[in-house]
Structure 1
Amino acid sequence: MKFKQIRNLYDGVKRQIKEVRDAFYSRRDSVIQFIETPINEEAIAGFNAMVKNTNTNIDKEMYYDERAIKLLYIQLNREFFTSKELAGLYKRVIEVTQKENVRKKLK
């Protein structure tokens, strides 16, 4: 996969995470309902496999980001990316999210 494709996907992930996060702060109840809506079991299994492959622990603060990434997984899965590519993208999302969480705590 070309760097530009990865960069575009990565930017898309960041946008989705930001949308979920912004929606959570502005419309908490509707977002909680959205997050609690069951999603495709195949997507959950794929997401959990990615977590295992990257040896990453998801903490409670990242619950909403996890939901965005699960939704993203469905989208990416349709485009036939390999599990290694998905895992690499997921790692980048986690790194960015963790940096954002640290910045928020320092403020």
Structure 2
Amino acid sequence: MDDRDVEGLTQAAPFQIEIGGVRFPCRADQSLLAAMIASGRKALAVGCRSGGCGVCRIRIQAGRCSTGHMNRAVVSAADEQAGIVLACRAYPSSDIRAVPLPRASFGVAPVGRAA
């Protein structure tokens, strides 16, 4: 996908997302992870896509989002209060700037893997 394709997506998507310096457009009804995949950009690893594995953990530095169900073993309530969410379960309500978090930053092995 070239920059013209991404510019076309921007017109349909009201929000601009930046994760780890990678920018892409996102609609309010689209998860941050789904928007990243649709844009052809690579800002995060992709795991289960259902809020369970924690591979797509990010820390929101600026902006607001709502979230769907997230596995509390990988994102605690305290984490969420601190701006940590799963990109596969985060839906923007503004432009967002975030950083990816390494999997080692929490103590749960991804689904199907030994700890």
TM-score (norm 2): 0.28
Q: As a proportion of its length, which structure holds more helix?
A: 1
Structure scoring higher RCO (CA < 8 A, sep ≥ 6) equals 1
